[in-house]
Amino acid sequence: MSEGIRLTKEQEKARNLRSWAIAFGLFAFVAIVFTVTVYRKMQELGIDAVS
């Protein structure tokens, strides 16, 4: 059986940083979509979003 690929410490660190960057980007995208959706719904209902 094969052991698979062994990563060096530097490669593991780089992979971890990429994973965090992807997670942050996904979170930011979801937050933007949510904010735009709420804003548009408020406009549709005639609620003043900016007081």
Q: Burial code of 7-44, b = ≥16 C-beta within 10 A, e = fewer?
A: eeeeeeeeeeeeeeeeeeeeeeeeeeeeeeeeeeeeee
Domain-embedded: residue 18: yes
Domain-embedded: residue 3: no
Q: What is the DSSP code (8-state) at residue 6?
A: P
Range of the domain at 47: 9-51
Domain-embedded: residue 31: yes
Domain-embedded: residue 20: yes
Domain-embedded: residue 16: yes
Domain-embedded: residue 38: yes
Domain-embedded: residue 43: yes
Give pLDDT, residue 36.
96
Give pLDDT, residue 30.
98
In tens, the pLDDT along 1-51 reads 568 889 999 999 999 999 999 999 999 999 999 999 999 999 888 887 665
Give pLDDT, residue 4.
86
Give pLDDT, residue 46.
86
Overall domain count for the chain: 1
Domain-embedded: residue 35: yes
Give pLDDT, residue 3.
81
